[in-house]
Structure 1
Amino acid sequence: MGKSGGMNHNAPLSPRPLLRPALSDVRLRVMSTAQLRAHGVSGAETNARCRPGGPWQQLLPGVHLLHSGPPTSEERLHAVLLYAGNPSPRRAAHTVPAQPEPGEPHGPGQQRIVYGDAMITGLAALTLHRLPSAPPLLALNRIDVLVPRTRRLRSTGFARLVRAPELPVPEQVTGLPVAPVPRALADAVAQLSDTEAVRRLLTEAVRGGHCDPAAVVRELAEAQLLNRPHVIDAVESLLAEGRAVAEDGLYRMVREHRLPDPLWNVDLRLPGGPHLGGVDAYWPDQAVAVELDTRAPGQDLPHGDDAVWSEYARKREYLERLGITVVHITPKKLRDSLEQQATVVRTALMASVDREPAAYVVVLPR
C-alpha cells in the first residue's frame, strides 16, 4: 500500500510493511533517521512523532525509539550502535536483507542491521560475554561503544564513545558486534577505581576460559593502565590465577591422555653445580621437561617481555645442551588443543630412546 498523503502524525505506520513488526523485532523498534527516511518517513514526520506525548521518542541524536515506553536494555544497545555507526548519511548504519541465524525467527521484511565499525565494549560487553560480576545492562548509566579514532561524534546521553587507532575484530553476541573480552576489560578498567572490582573482573575472565592473562595484560599495557596502583594489584592476582588455571590444565592433560606421571614442580640442578631452573613437570627416565609459558608482557619496561623470553630461551638452550628435551606449552594451547599438546609430550617421551643419554641432574622439590 502506498504512502497516504494526508497521514495523521499520530496514526500507526501499519500500511508500511517494513515497520509492521515494530513491536516484535528490536531491530525495527529502534531506527536511525536515515533508516526511517529510507522507509518513506520524512524528517518532519519523525520529529512530529517524537514530540512530548507523541508515539515515538528520540533516544540519541538521529536515533529513535518507535514506541513511547522506556527503552529495554536491548533497545539501548541497538541505539548506541546505530548512533556510533552512523557518522554520515553516506555511511549510515542500514538494514540489509538477511538469512536468519540458527534459532532466529525470520519473517517477511525482517532485516539485518549493519552497524559499520562500531562495537559494544566496556562493562556492557562483559555483561554480554556473561562475566558473573559484570552489572546488569539496565544498571549501566552509560554504554561504552568502541569506534575508530577519526570518528567525528561525541559521547552523549547513555552512549560513551571509546576511540582507538585500531579496532579488534568484533565477536557476535546475541547478534550484536561486541569487543573481545581482553579489549572490553581494558575499556572497563579504565573507568573503574575499585581494586576489588577490577580484580574480580580480571579473575573471572581467566577462570571462565574467556582469555589468557597475557592477552589481558597486553591490552592493559596498550591502554596505559599499568601505572595505576589498583590495576597493578589486580594484575598480580590475575597472573597467579592464570598460572593456577594453566597448572590444572596440565594435570588434566596428563590424567586424561594417560601420560606417565611426572615429577611435578621441581628444580633441576647439576650435581655440586649451578641451579638450572624450575620446570612444571619432569620425566627423569626420559629426560623430558614441560614448562608452562605463563609470561605476560613486561609491566615495568617497554621491552620487559623480551627480557623474560630471553631468560626462557637461555634456560631451554642450557637444558637441551645437557640432553633434556624441554616442551613449552601456553595456557591457550592447553585450553584449545589439549589432545594435540598431549601428543607433543608423548612424542618427546617416546623419542628419548633414540637420543644420547642425558647428563645426570639433581631433581629437587620447588
Structure 2
Amino acid sequence: MVRARRSRTALVRRALQEIIQGVRSSPEAELRECLGRSRLLPEILWNPRLLGPDGSILPTPDGYLPDAALAVEVDSQEFHFAAADWHRTLDRHNELSRYDVLILHFTPAQIRRDPARVRQIVEDAYRSRRGFGARSGVLTGAPSYRACF
C-alpha cells in the first residue's frame, strides 16, 4: 500500500526536484538528463549567476562548465522566433563570447532525437577547450534562480 502511494507520485516528486534545482523548462530537464549520462563531463552548473571580471552581471546560460569556459543553451523556436527574441539571444551570446566563453546551442528536437550526438558534441568541446587550457575572466556566483518555498 505504501509503495502504491509513492509510485503514483513519482512524476510529481521528479518535477518538484527539478524545480528546486532550478530547471526552467522541460527541454532543459532533458538536456540535464542527456549530459548527466556523460562519463567525461564534471558537474555542470545549471543556470549559474555569472559575473565579469569587474563584477558586472553577465547573461545566465542554461548550463556552464567553468573549467573549460563552456556554456550550453537550449534554444527553442518558440522563444526565439520573434525578431526581438532572436536579437536578445544574439546579444546574450555576444556578451558571453567577449569573455572567451564558448556557447553551444541545441534545439529541443536535437536533444530528443539524438541525445548521444548532443552529449558527444559537448564532450568534444569540453575536451578540446580543456586540452588547450581555455580560460575566461568569468566568475560564478550563486545560482540565478531562487527557490519559492
Question: When the two structures are superposed, what TM-score results if normalisation uses the length of structure 1?
Answer: 0.30
Q: Which amino acid aligns with 2:57?
A: H
DSSP-derived class of the 1:328 partner? strand
1:332 matched to 2:109: yes
Match in the other structure for 1:245: 26
Structure 2 runs not aligned, ≥5 long: 1-23, 145-149
CA apart distance, 1:308: 0.8
Structure of higher RCO (CA pairs closer than 8 Å, 6+ residues apart): 2
CA apart distance, 1:349: 0.5
Q: Which protein has the bigger helix share? A: 2
The structure-2 alpha-carbon separation of the partners of 1:282 and 1:356, relative to structure 1 and needing over 3 Å to count, comes to closer
DSSP-derived class of the 2:46 partner? strand
DSSP-derived class of the 2:125 partner? helix
Structure number with greater Rg is 1
Aligned length: 119
Q: Matches of residues 1-366 of structure 1 in structure 2 within 5 Å? A: 244-258=25-39, 259-296=41-78, 305-352=82-129, 353-354=131-132, 356-366=134-144
CA distance in 1, matches of 2:118, 2:86: 21
Q: Which amino acid aligns with 2:66?
A: P
Identity %: 28
Q: Which amino acid aligns with 2:136?
A: A
4+ runs deviating over 6 angstroms: none
Aligned-CA RMSD value:
2.1
**Can you list the C-alpha shifts for 1:8-32, whole angstroms capped at 9, x where unaligned?**
xxxxxxxxxxxxxxxxxxxxxxxxx
CA apart distance, 1:279: 1.2
Q: Which amino acid aligns with 1:263?
A: L
CA apart distance, 1:274: 2.5
Contact kept, 8 Å, 1:262 with 1:282, in 2: the verdict is yes
Q: Which amino acid aligns with 1:294?
A: S
Question: When the two structures are superposed, what TM-score results if normalisation uses the length of structure 2?
Answer: 0.70
Match in the other structure for 2:8: none
